[in-house]
Amino acid sequence: MYTQWKPDSWRSKPAAHQVEYMDKVKYRSVLDSLMLQPPLVFPGEIHKLTRQIAEAGSGERFIIHGGDCVERFQDCNEETITNKIKIILQMSTILTHALRKPVLRLGRIGGQYFKPRSSERESLNGREVMTYRGDTVNGFPEELRAPDADRLTRGYYCAAATLNYIRAMISGGFTDLHHPYNWNLHSIGKTEEWAEYSRIVEQILDAIHFMESIGGMEAVGLNRIEFYTSHEGLHLGFEEALTRKERESDSYYNAGAHMLWIGERTRDLKGAHLEYFRGIINPIGIKISSRIDPDELNELIHILNPDNTPGRLTLITRLGIDKVEESLPRLIRKVLDGGHKVTWSCDPMHGNTVSTGEGVKTRRFDDILGEIKASHRIHSEIGSSFGGVHFELTGEEVTECTGGAVKIMDSDLSTNYQSFCDPRLNYAQSMEIAFMLSRLMKA
Ligand code: PEP
Ligand code: CO
């Protein structure tokens, strides 16, 4: 039914959201040199991740997937990476404790440098410029908006440096669960929930100290965590250049991240993104909005996972608080009827973006929480597994999403709004979501 796949067979299909480079010779030479760079991930890690995603699909594991909407090159520094790993680690520890099952940590990190944008151009400082498409394409300041292929090389090296530092933190002990890193609860202190949250953290630390005192940490592997990277596979020239052949088999894998996902804007059944993704062995995510037709979803699944391999596909629903009740049951039932083995995750961010009166993009904490709660309930009612959550978050004290125990108001957003793209949960809001999730899903 399908033609032979090659890393470049996507080139014969219509490719949405690609970048037009003025200097085509330079672009080609950047891709040629990227093809010679060492892989950032190893196929054995990809296979292991696929097995763990399959476990999340059958309810034996839970996925926490999170990070920036778009990473900037300036985020490739010790403090920002440390804070991001710390928040994901702390959220996963809270959830492991409550759910009594392993939690898979997946970062939107080490390669999340490309963005699909709804318009080609935007207004900046009163002038019309090309939209910002992520640091590997163009720069945020007005004078850097022209795409520059050298940025692709810089993206590869920033991803390599980020991943190298994460691997060093893990092997060097930062992520040991008994490491005395600061839980920083002061930022949500003095709120009504404080007493309950600090009690939970005390219980977790107690359990860890107990394990340590009986010498069990190493025995049960608590001293070494696993952490996987992911990004939206958008720029197909770049992804093709990072495609490698697995030595033991004839299979191809993307060597730039453990997992890649297809965005809501590029999941066209006849498009180039599906063509590229169907040929790589990495586990794949697909973002799904309420715009998808359930039959289209089944076809999408069939193209990307014709062998129905568990763990291969994660359906990341981003329906929005207004649409989740109507859309999600239809989608789940259709997938169940089709007999497809998928893992479901909920992205409560992208269907809930709103603009304030001043035109600032934000998301309301209660909408985010509301979509999670509704998705969890709908999955339970239908008898399917709520396998994970997908957030845009940061370990920094930014003011981009409103609400939460820290009560950020529309008028507070300008205090520390840093995102170049979508608004992220800050440290306190992310912790609070983890506590709420654990209350919701407590075993
Ligand atoms: C994103 O994850 O940043 C994004 C653009 O999401 P979606 O494709 O779901 O709109
Ligand atoms: Co986003």
Per-residue pLDDT tens over the stretch 341-353: 999 999 999 999 9
Q: Which domains does the chain have, with CATH numbers?
A: 9-175+224-441 (3.20.20.70)
How many CB atoms neighbour CB 202 within 10 A? 10
User: What average pLDDT does the segment 93-119 reach?
Assistant: 94
314-340 pLDDT tens trace: 999 999 999 999 999 999 999 999 999
| 376, pLDDT greater than 70 | yes
For 52-84, the pLDDT digits (tens) are 999 999 999 999 999 999 999 999 999 999 999
Q: Is the CB of 423 under 6 A from ligand 1?
A: no
- pTM score: 0.95
The residue to which tokens 């002990």 are assigned: 173
CA 389 to each of CA 106, 159, 192, 202, 345: distance values in angstroms, whole numbers, following the listed order: 10, 23, 25, 25, 5
Ligand 2 centroid from CA 207, angstroms: 36
Q: Which ligand is nearest to the Cα of residue 319, counting in written order?
A: 1
Cα distance from N-terminal residue to C-terminal residue, the chain: 45
Residue whose CA lies nearest to ligand 1 atom number 3: 69
Mean pLDDT of the chain: 93
Give the pLDDT confidence of 112-145 residue by residue, as tens digits.
999 999 889 998 888 999 999 999 999 999 999 9
Q: Which of these ranges, 89-93, 191-195, 266-270, 292-296, has the smallest mean pLDDT? A: 191-195
Tokens of 315: 């359906």
Is residue 318 within 6 Å of ligand 1 at its C-beta? yes
Predicted pLDDT at 391: 98
pLDDT at residue 180 above 60? no
Q: How far is the CA of 391 from the centre of ligand 2 (A)?
A: 9
Ligand 1 mean position, distance from CA 287 (Å): 7
Q: Which ligand is located closest to the Cα atom of residue 108?
A: 1
For the residues 15-20, what does the mean pLDDT come to? 96
Q: What is the pLDDT of residue 1?
A: 45
Q: What spacing in Å lies between the alpha carbon of 392 and ligand 2's midpoint?
A: 7
Question: CB under 8 Å to 67, separation ≥6 — which residues?
Answer: 84, 88, 107, 108, 109, 112, 392, 393, 394
